[in-house]
A and B are shown apart, each in its own frame.
Chain A
Amino acid sequence: MFAHHLRTAWTSVRRSPVLSILIVAAIAVGIGVSITGLTIYHMLARDPIPQKSDQLFRVQLDSWDPDSPFFEGGDEPSGPPFWLTYQDAMALLESDIPKAHAANYRSAAVLESDNPSVAPDVYGIRATTRGFFSMFEVPFRYGAAWDAAADQDGAPVVVIGEKINDELFGGEDSTGRTVRLGDDEFRVAGVLEHWSPHPRFYDLNMTTFGDPEQLFVPMRAATDREWAINGNTSCWKPESLVTFRDFLGSECVWVLFWAELPDSASREAYMTYLNGYVDQQKAAGRFPRPMDNRLRSVEEWLEHRQVVSDDSRVVVALAFLFLIVCLLNAVGLMLAKFAGTAPSAAIRRALGASRGDIVRQYLTEVGAIGIAGGLAGLALAATGLWSLRQGFEDLANVARLDLSMGFTAIGLAFLAALAAGLYPAWRVGRAVPVRFLKSQ
């Protein structure tokens, strides 16, 4: 019977091609818009490191100005600053409570190599400590992270990304070889596999979806060379900041700090430790605000930094509202289309088709139209996302359809078409057959 329904659906589509195309178009436009919105939302809302996002914590200490808020726009204007001072970050690195931890900041330097075909260029650098790699499960192709001694003495070692390794060393194992960063030779300690968490949760400054840096050096190696801070720096205290050393000893916040705390016991212990540290600092005349230290999980951090804003939720809701409007149009078109085939349905009824048979026949047609609309809608969504990628560089990595979104689109279109077709199909099924069987 299903094969017959399908065949009937096909002839019905061919009999009223214009109406059929309009219905497919109505569904396609609705699906295209809602899938575009959903894809963006899905990417914004996704967990960049699901296996341990509840064990990784952004550390915040409230060392800020007692007289003015740190960040007016946020959900919590009186909250602690996003970043730590250099002196606090270095102090926290002394703790052995976290399974791993990392202070880091973004910098930049000119990279040169022996490879004559690669011209020197300025590259972004992540200055950090070795815990970064284990904590964020950064995958290595060759070598490994630098050792603890390198963190201590700021040895000139570097971990490079796959892309740079391909460019400079043709993708070979380059551990032990050197690249020139600024004025110094850095020895390659490790080469990464492709690694690109989205959103780039560990540092949301400037880019939410940008790629990670291709160069990682010990934080000490960067600060010893007084490499610039290419991220946000916020200062509140009137201090004399003449030298870089002045800056490192100041109340300016700019260091990102993450800690891996696998269980609630370690979290509590660490919080106690943080509070103890701040008490100490208060005694020394720092931390003028009331104690307010925070550990935010990856999810909480993304929420706090409003990666998924209420605006984007509204956009998704609007996109689905638009889908509903399209479906209402489709309902009208289907009513018109089915009115044309009502006489055939009446004949079928006279021959013994039950209402259910008729409704199923029409729903088969509607379902097929829905799938066609879904495919066309996917094409529209792909086009829409493509144009978003052209317009917003930040979305280049994420505004893409994946397989699951493809299935979602088709499934959604199918269900939407069924929902839209239910009433028209039911109406044909209910129609009194004799009305269409007039003998003259």
Chain B
Amino acid sequence: MLEMQHIGKVYRTELVETHALRDFSLRVNEGDFVAVTGPSGSGKTTFLNIAGLLETFGDGTYRLDGEDVSGLSDKQRSRIRNQKIGFIFQSFNLIPDLDVADNVELPLRYRRLDRGERKARAERALELVGLASRTRHLPSQLSGGQQQRVAIARALAGEPRLILADEPTGNLDSLMARQVLDLLEEINARGTTVIMVTHDPDLSRRAHRNVHVLDGRVTDFKPYDPVPGGLAAGAGA
């Protein structure tokens, strides 16, 4: 599904040069559920943004769904984001002026789907996250957990191949966090590839594989270990 080789990303400001990623290589297969862990500032978000074509990178190659994306125009990247990728952010990032249904429909608008199709898909996605009754609420009228479920519904509405979640439970209490993870597992069970950044070891344990990032590099790559605490030797891609 996703294959990065020797990716480098440097942020330059007037004084500092930050190597957010260096020689970053990772391979994620179709249908995987990957948890990405690592200390703050290690480059996890940068990786997700590059994976989701929100940012460009310097060195290396990146193939998404078999396609080399380094030479694509902004418009082509927008289309891939729109059709293949669903984002879930820590701070939900719902559009405050749009109600729940309109937020969920938004990616479908940019796909130029007609109204009926949009409504049907948004309804299905909201049903899946258990918020079918809240369609006319504004984000500010919902709890944090509900907002994140709306964000998940929005990511799902476009039926993406790849879900990229950046600390999706970081702003939620543990009960809500578990509900969100249940949802992500359910989505993954239907065949959608999920890559999730998290700090929470309880959550990362539920993923098929764990990727540890340190200083802009993948340092540990563990396949799914059904035995808690057990260790299976992993190999970096």
Is residue A11 within 8 Å, beta carbon to beta carbon, of the partner chain? yes
Contacting pair A348 B110 (CB below 8 A) = yes
Q: Per-residue CB proximity of B43-57 to A under 8 Å, as 1/0?
A: 001000100101100
Give chain A residues whose Cβ lies under 8 Å from the Cβ of B173: none
Q: What are the residues of chain A within 8 A of B166 when measuring CB–CB?
A: 439
B74 in contact with A439 (CB, 8 Å):
no
15 residue pairs A–B, Cβ–Cβ below 8 Å: A344-B96, A348-B95, A348-B106, A348-B110, A350-B52, A350-B54, A350-B81, A350-B87, A351-B82, A352-B82, A352-B111, A354-B74, A433-B54, A439-B89, A439-B167
Contact call A351/B110, Cβ cutoff below 8 A:
yes
Q: Does A237 contact B (CB under 8 A)?
A: no
| B90 contacts A by Cβ under 8 Å | yes
With A351-B87, A354-B74, A439-B170 as contacts: A432 and B95 at CB distance below 8 Å: no
Q: A11 vs B96: C-alpha distance in the bound complex, in angstroms?
A: 10
Interface residues in B75-115 (C-beta closer than 8 Å to A): 75, 78-79, 81-83, 87, 89-91, 93-98, 106-107, 109-112
Does B154 belong to the interface (CB within 8 Å)? yes
Known A-B contacts A348-B106, A350-B87, A351-B154; A437 and B167 likewise in contact (beta carbons under 8 Å): no
Interface pair B109/A1, CB less than 8 Å apart:
yes
Shortest Cβ distance from residue B112 to the other chain A in the assembled complex, whole angstroms: 7
Contacts of A434 in B (CB 8 A): 49, 54-55
Q: Is the CB of A355 within 8 A of B170?
A: no
Q: Which of B102-149 contact A (CB under 8 A)?
A: 106-107, 109-112
Contact in complex: B112, A440 (CB < 8 Å): no
Expressed in whole angstroms, the Cα–Cα distance for A440 and B91 within the complex equals: 7
A143 CB → nearest B CB, Å: 68
Contacts of A349 in B (CB 8 A): 54, 78
Contact present for B95 and A347 (CB under 8 Å): yes
Number of contact residues on B: which range applies?
20 to 34
Residue of B at shortest CB range from A436?
A: B93
* Distance, CA A351 to CA B45, complexed state (A): 17
Chain A min CB distance to B116 (Å)? 15
Is A17 an interface position by the 8 A CB rule? no
- Smallest Cβ distance from A16 to chain B, in angstroms? 11
A8-B93 Cα distance, complex, nearest whole Å: 17
A343 to B45, CA, bound (A): 17
A344 to B170, CA, bound (A): 21
CA distance A347 to B97 in the complex (A): 13
Cβ–Cβ < 8 Å partners of B55 in chain A = 432, 434
A contact residues around B49 at 8 Å (CB): 434, 437
In the assembled complex, the Cα of A432 lies from the Cα of B53 at a distance in Å of 11
Query: Is A15 at the interface (CB under 8 A from chain B)?
Result: yes
Would you call B78 and A1 a contact (CB within 8 A)?
Answer: no
Q: Does A185 contact B (CB under 8 A)?
A: no
CB distance A352 to B110 under 8 Å? yes
* Interchain CA distance A12-B98 in the complex, whole Å: 11
- Collect the chain A residues with CB atoms within 8 Å of residue B107's CB: 351-352
Closest residue on chain B to residue A10 by CB atoms: B97
- Given that A11-B97, A15-B97, A348-B106 are known contacts, is A439 also in contact with B90, CB under 8 Å in the complex? yes
- Cβ-based interface call for A353 (8 A): yes
Query: A348's closest neighbor in chain B, by CB?
Result: B106
Q: Indicate with 1 or 0, residue by residue over A404-440, a CB within 8 angstroms of chain B CB atoms.
A: 0000000000000000000000000000111001111
Q: How far is the CB of A343 from chain B (nearest CB, A)?
A: 8
